[in-house]
Amino acid sequence: MKKIEIKNLNLKLQNQIRQDYSLNKNSWFGVGGKSDYFFSPNTKKDLQFFLKNFKFKKFITIGSGSNILFRDKGFDGVVIKLGKEFSKVEENNSKIIAGAASLKNKVAEFAKNKGFSNFEFLSVIPGTIGGGVFMNAGCFGSEMSDIIEKIFVINLMGEQISIDRKDINFSYRQSGLNEQYIITDIIFKKTKKIDPELIINKIDLLKKQKKINQPSNIKTGGSTFKNPSNHNEKAWQLIKKYGCDKLFFGNAKFSDHHCNFIDNTKLASSDEIEKLIKETQNIVLKKSGIKLELEIKII
């Protein structure tokens, strides 16, 4: 990879770029090697300047790292994590507008305070709104595609593009968006205002359901596998049915509370986690003919 001449950048941008950056603190799994470069732009202008002046063969954009497994060998490219300006949440013309780096639960909190309905499910999904759009995150019968009106992205040439909801090919846990796009802003559909107390009650109910159904206070990447389409058994049911919930490789194991969540409290290596994933996929495929697809992203 061509080296970035950081000294040739203006001072402001220099402070936003790091070389040989350890990625383990940017993943909820708590593991990962180093990236060649780590860039955290504070503004759109900074991001556009960077993209227009430096070309890379490999780059990824990350949010809070709630569903990413970084390999221990690291990433030979540029990791981009949007900074301060991209985490704003505002109301305009009775619509919520959120920067891609804003956390889902913060958007849910903002909507609650304004009395906007339909955002409650975001209160129990970790991670940023931008990442949620890319993977069409959802739970308890709702998903991102239900509430989006339009998004704004910046391409690798530094150009800003707006994309309407109807032009995004949303499906279960995916959006079909070009991975060369960096989402910067999301405009949500206008929704009716209701009594905030009703919203609070719904959020409380969802949080209780999550506590019952999902593990907490562990190092994990959320749901490991997507639920198979056109099949009446969920991923966790298949994992348990074929005994994969008892598998382990080194310190990598599934959560005792919910076996579609990997528990990495004992800090397994990325290789051990991948072995657990692949062995589970192989066993389920051999026994049922169903290929479990990953919901987490391996970098």
Distances (CA, A) of 212 to 94, 125, 240, 258: 35, 15, 18, 10
Which 8-state DSSP code applies to residue 224?
Answer: S
State which amino acid sits at residue 297.
Answer: K
Looking at the domain 86-211, which fold is it?
Answer: 3.30.465
User: pTM of this prediction?
Assistant: 0.90
Q: How many helices (H) and strands (E) does the chain have?
A: 7, 16
Q: What is the pLDDT along the chain (299 residues), one digit of tens a residue?
A: 555 555 555 566 778 889 899 999 999 999 999 999 999 999 999 999 899 888 777 899 999 999 999 999 999 999 999 998 999 999 998 999 999 999 999 999 999 999 999 999 999 999 999 999 999 999 999 999 999 999 999 999 999 999 999 999 999 999 989 888 999 999 999 988 899 899 999 999 999 999 998 888 899 999 999 999 888 899 999 999 999 999 999 999 999 999 999 999 999 999 999 999 999 999 999 999 999 999 999 99
295 a catalytic residue: yes
71 a catalytic residue: no
- Write down the catalytic residue from 120, 123, 173, 272: 173
- Write down the catalytic residue from 123, 175, 223, 270: 223
Q: Read off the tokens for 96.
A: 């919520």
State which amino acid sits at residue 253.
Answer: K
Segments making up each domain of the chain, as ranges? 6-81, 86-211, 235-298
With residue 13 as reference, give the H or E element that holds it: helix 11-14
Which residues make Cβ contacts (< 8 Å) with residue 217, sequence separation at least 6?
Answer: none
149 a catalytic residue: no
Q: Read off the tokens for 32.
A: 């990962």
Domain spanning 6-81: CATH 3.30.43.10: yes
| Under 8 Å between Cβ of 32 and 70 | yes
- Write down the catalytic residue from 120, 143, 272, 295: 295
User: What percent of the chain is helix, strand and coil (3-state, nearest 5)?
Assistant: 35, 25, 40
Q: Which CATH number among 3.40.50.1860, 3.20.10.10, 3.90.78.10, 1.10.260.40 corresponds to the domain 235-298?
A: 3.90.78.10
Rounded Cα distance between 116 and 127, Å, is 21
